[in-house]
Amino acid sequence: MAAKTPYEVPTEMREFAERSVEQARKAFDGFIGAAHKAVDTAHGSAETARFNTQDAARKAISYAETNVAAAFDLAQKLVQSKDLTEVMTHQSEFMKAQMAALQTQFKEIGAAAQEVAAKAAETVTKAAKPK
């Protein structure tokens, strides 16, 4: 029986395999780098969202305090009113003032929401840009 010669991998094939492995390693390293960046960006976005949520809660509490104080002021005026005409005057003034306050509050909330959306879009855009 004739002795079999061991199979040797041609040099070109070995070099090709080594280059392929190196390219795969670089691709994987790039993927891992992008994953780390995405996690960091998500963390930053979560911190921004948390801050914006706290800010919105503070504003809501401030608005509630202002609105309740106005209602107590109205109640005090109503109790001290001498006649129905005075009651209606106080009620009318309160309604006008409250409508103006609510308009301002809604504008502020809308502006804050737009700012949050713009920051979120900016964060996403930055994260999506290749370097």
Task: Report the amino acid identity of residue 52.
Answer: N
**Chain segment 100-126, per-residue pLDDT in tens:** 999 999 999 888 878 877 877 777 777
| pLDDT(35) > 80 | no
Sign, CA torsion 119/121/127/131: negative
pLDDT of residue 37: 75
* CA pair distance 102, 125, nearest whole angstrom: 34
Q: What is the DSSP letter of 106?
A: H
pLDDT for position 44: 61
* pLDDT for residue 60: 82
For 31, 77, 85, 106, the CA distances from 59, given in Å and listed in that order, are: 41, 27, 35, 11
User: Is residue 5 predicted with pLDDT exceeding 70?
Assistant: no
Total residues belonging to the chain: 131
Domain boundaries, the chain: 43-128
pLDDT digits (tens, 9 = 90+) for 42-86: 566 666 666 677 777 788 888 888 889 999 999 998 888 889 999
